[in-house]
A and B are shown apart, each in its own frame.
Chain A
């Protein structure tokens, strides 16, 4: 699915450094303390970001980064590149490489960098450019000294400070300085400082932070998102310039007003022809929701996602008229277009900024340029409807895991408002599987299976709707029921109820040799069509809390018709496990001499638990995986 980010995400996370001439560094890897080397592939020896705000439309960013790479896996962290564009100029750029003894082995001047367009693979075009240097290490460890200085007229986006830029990176020292001799009002925010060796050395006109001697962190599955764990400082000016557009915002309300007046205004004009076409479509619709649904469908069928980022286009949507004519746009253009279409049928809606994909909030109490994606909000008298406008397939009002459950900035006519998108949790993410399974004397199976999915379980499946028949067959064989060898699909019927957001799959399948026959015993695995086999990785020492992100509920009921030559003997007792992570129940019951019913209930609950619970969580899922393989024996008559 093509849903993509605003351009400004390109700038997030770029590590910045300053040229500190008095800071003579001994570039040998010998001096790194052992405590930093544990678990590390890379050591940030020193990383200085020195920002100077010269005026409301002038900012200088100096970066100096000294990085020692200990092994092959650390190469990806040297980041020998510098972005630039029409309003950001590179003043200085160089790299030096040192060997293990601190001897200079290579010196790369700006001329030797490769200069290319910085498109992200989805963009049709972007005026962002990047200069990079590809270095092939000859031995490890080695040390890289990267220096750059850029000058920009856009002050709307001051680089953040993420002293720990990733996992398996040890940090000897990271420095962040924002000089503000201008007297312009600057705000800052500190996040996740607890437990990290961060020092605040700020003075009146200078923001100054340092982090020293931070051992490398290891990534652990089921941990909280990176941005929720790692320390960070963000800064923003109340008065700023963005691609030659001036702005002022002290809070979200004002920021929203600025966006509305400078970036969004006059963008919702449409041709009469389009307006009347849309009005005609909704003429019989009774409610606003019904109308909005028709308009959304119209928009989805008419457009496709393409990103074109030129000038302020990284922040400002294309006009609705242009999108209407071209039939494409990016998240901003398409959301704004949808807004214009809704307006033409008298429905008010609000352009909304969000962090998409990995869950991350727009900071409620720190106003700055944030987010990397745009969606649309229909207030609908307090019953908010949220629209993802970059997908041609997602149902009306459904966000899925791309933008669910997070704080977003809604740009209303009265200014910016922070709202939370709906969460899909636990029972909401329901999947039920019902099957009638007929076994024959030779161990073969014919079954009718019906699988109904809602919530996030819907989100994971609805993409398959448009697959052609032979690929669908392959999908069931390879992805869904790969544990049933010899499975053949006789018929597949799929119903994607977009209105109710329910996905129904009905299949008739045959599995040859499903049961194993030994002498007078006939062995059948009870869980034929919904086997859960995931067991979380074992960590000998868990350091992070455990997060189960959304949770789900699976309910299965399989009716077995047993073969003529066999009879039902002893049946296992029901099994039940209840933990704070969720519950699991299975049972098998004899209905009559030829019929058995297997039932399963498996609820995994969203939640965050202390690190000590990881083992218990793992053992819960291990037990589940084991019961999922339960078989029973039928006996020969």
Chain B
């Protein structure tokens, strides 16, 4: 087949590194380098990370998106050898348009015995294609002859027919980057919004270049950019591209090795691209979402969202039975919520659009997040409640800081009452309760969409803390064993977590796990409301423990909190560049009551301590008091905020240090 339209691209390289960095040529110094000069912990580094994304045009497909990649990797340690293997992910659905990975070329550079640079070429035989799922495949590459010290050059190109989609630009990675260069070149017809994320940013440099599409034969009415035509003439269409260059040297690595992290990729610097409009010559512009209003409206209007929300027929037959005994709004809400949870099970897929559709999901009893929660919303509305869907970005999808359609990948339901109070619901989890959502949905703010398509923000992070309330009554036997009773209630997210973890287990397993956790022997175990979701979970155990009392020179030393003390500061690192994410505000309240054994009196009690974090982020209170033959201990740790910003990390670390030290202090009893 003859090509009737040829594409000429005049691209002037703005990449100033390109003078020094040529694919297939590395310096002796690069191979000789033993450690990364700025980050001695790096197992490997990108000496150069290059990407250029540009559009090209062809007759059959129209505009396609091409991405050229060149990576130069230095291996410093044996652990770093994993960077000699690369899996290039690309979209290859069983049906529909596919991406293509082409031009995979690679070299490994080493020094020979005479200190000369030798290179070994990657053979095509060492590149394999692996089908990972229905939609994704990998090109797997294993670079040859790689040892500690080697430098690798690898390049490839991905061609994507999905012209409205530009892959995120990632600045920051798990290993450092010495020279970073990315250029995104977009024809003037496309307007993308750039949204930056994370804690590292590279400023874009904008420039323009000119391109053209030459059509030697024919075009037709309606603009050159739609395939299929009849008129014969020669057309040359010039257009401008807007080029954004991101250039940096020494981008630091961000490793994933800290506690209380939701998803490290949210904290790595980068930019995502979201299409806001397309306007081809002689065509009407097509607008995508520019504001949160638009985003919400677009989603709302789509058949997989708003359309599904309107359907009610499929459940009408069963509905009267469901609502039979419910009269108040709250009762209706509860029965409908429980009904959806028991009727449709979650298939582990997120989604703001339905997968099977509510009707089929209802019939088969299986659905994705949207199937379930749009169904829930429809039913709540049918019962006369003021219910609306709320778009959410789940924890592993990043924070929705900028108006993008892809920013949302999840949907829950909200019911608002006349007194301005509201309840959030997610029916994908058996043990979720009103206003207690699974952790994955607790990400900052969600976007509520009303019936008229208008939208507004709703705070998702719980306002009510997860509460752990423990009371412990302890007696010391003449053999220095502690016998006691521990009563614990779990509220809100703690209750959800307890039920999700333990309710599927047999009681003896739960008991054994508890014995192992505290190193106690449980003699009686009682759990209340583990399946009564409206109430906190309440657990009572009778226990004995024989290693709590230390006897030194006739004196008894006892930890005031017995086995409930925090013994380790979870924050080990000196600094932290991203927030501490507790997921929810929380409150741990421990009350311990110890009976002083006959013949003993108190010699020492730890002093009271009350400390707080700035901005009312959190407090710790610790009080030990004697009352007759009892010692009462009260320890309260409270965090009013789920997220602690990195600026407060050193303060938080110190706060925890004091907490652990205080809780380690012992009560001393002496013989009377």
Contacts and interface: CB of A to CB of B under 8 A. Distances in A.
Contacts of B506: 39
Contact of A516 (B42, B81, B131, B665): B665
Interface in A587-637: 622, 625-626, 629, 631-633
Given A72-B504, A483-B567, A537 B572 contact: no
A138 B364 contact: yes
A119 B130 contact: yes
Nearest to B134: A114
Contacts of B84: 304
A485 B348 contact: no
Contact of B85 (A124, A301, A626): A124
Given A326-B126, A538-B521, A629 B508 contact: no
A469 interface: yes
Given A482-B568, A485-B568, A469 B346 contact: no
Contact of A471 (B41, B550, B661): B41
Nearest to B345: A138
B547 A625 contact: yes
Could you tell me the dominant secondary structure of chain A's interface residues? mixed
Q: Which of B131, B546, B547 has the most CB of A within 10 A?
A: B547
B133 A116 contact: yes
Contacts of A240: none
A540 B508 contact: yes
A187 interface: no
A503 interface: no
Interface residues of B, number: 65
Interface string B539-572: 0000000110010110101000000000111001
A424 B627 CA distance: 57
Interface string B127-153: 010111110000010101111100000
Contacts of B309: none
A71 B665 contact: no
B453 interface: no
Interface string A129-147: 0000010111100000000
Interface string A359-401: 0000000000000000000000000000000001100000000
Given A468-B40, A538-B515, A116 B144 contact: no
Contacts of A423: none
B553 A486 contact: no
A304 B81 contact: yes
A112 to B, nearest CB: 11
B81 A631 contact: no
B596 interface: no
A72 B504 CA distance: 7
A125 B130 contact: yes
B612 interface: no
A552 interface: no
Contact of B144 (A114, A328, A478, A625): A328
Interface in A179-195: none
A302 B81 CA distance: 11
Contacts of A570: 553
Interface string A477-493: 11000110110000000
Interface string B143-168: 01111100000000000000000000
A458 B516 CA distance: 28
A16 interface: no
Interface in B348-384: 348, 364-366
Given A73-B504, A325-B145, A569 B553 contact: yes
Interface in B474-533: 504-506, 508, 512, 515-516, 519, 521
B573 interface: yes
Contacts of A415: none
B664 interface: yes
A513 B658 CA distance: 11
B98 interface: no
B439 interface: no
Contacts of A516: 665-666
Interface in B623-672: 657, 660-661, 664-666, 668
Given A328-B142, A392-B81, A626 B547 contact: yes
A474 B78 contact: no
Given A486-B657, A516-B665, A631-B552, A523 B557 contact: yes
Contact of B347 (A136, A325, A466, A513): A136
A117 B132 contact: yes
B604 interface: yes
B661 A485 contact: yes
A632 B550 CA distance: 10
A405 B126 CA distance: 37
Contacts of B345: 136-138
A443 B366 CA distance: 62
A326 B144 contact: yes
Contact of A631 (B257, B515, B550, B660): B550
B135 to A, nearest CB: 10
A575 B85 CA distance: 55
A115 interface: yes
A626 to B, nearest CB: 5
A364 B133 CA distance: 41
B331 interface: no
B661 A114 contact: no
Contacts of B406: none
B547 A478 contact: no
A124 B128 contact: yes
Given A327-B144, A626-B547, A392 B572 contact: no
B79 interface: yes
A632 B348 contact: no
Contacts of A626: 546-547
Given A468-B41, A629-B547, A523 B552 contact: yes
Contacts of B661: 485-486, 513
Given A328-B142, A629-B547, A116 B132 contact: yes
A105 B149 CA distance: 59
A106 B108 CA distance: 52
Given A136-B346, A474-B573, A485-B568, A306 B131 contact: no
Contact of A466 (B79, B144, B550): B79
Nearest to A486: B657
A85 to B, nearest CB: 14
B77 interface: yes
A118 B84 CA distance: 22
A470 B113 CA distance: 34
Interface in A60-117: 71-73, 106, 114-117
B78 A393 contact: yes
Contacts of A308: 128, 142
Q: Which of A115, A134, A304, A629 has the most CB of B within 10 A?
A: A304
Interface string A526-551: 00000000010111100000000000
Contact of B512 (A301, A328, A535, A537): A537
Contacts of A518: 603-604, 668
A485 B78 contact: no
A304 B146 contact: yes
A235 B42 CA distance: 51
Nearest to A627: B547
Interface of A: 39, 71-73, 106, 114-117, 119, 124-125, 134, 136-139, 277, 301-302, 304, 306, 308, 325-328, 392-393, 466, 468-471, 474, 477-478, 482-483, 485-486, 513, 516, 518-519, 521, 523, 535, 537-540, 569-570, 622, 625-626, 629, 631-633
22 contacts: A114-B133, A114-B134, A116-B133, A124-B85, A124-B142, A136-B347, A136-B348, A301-B147, A304-B84, A306-B85, A326-B144, A328-B144, A393-B78, A466-B79, A477-B572, A483-B567, A485-B657, A486-B661, A538-B521, A569-B553, A629-B550, A631-B552
Given A301-B148, A470-B41, A538-B515, 7 more contacts: A124-B85, A468-B41, A471-B257, A474-B573, A477-B572, A569-B553, A625-B547
Which 7 interchain pairs have the tightest Cβ spacing? A468-B41, A138-B365, A125-B128, A327-B145, A136-B347, A326-B144, A117-B130
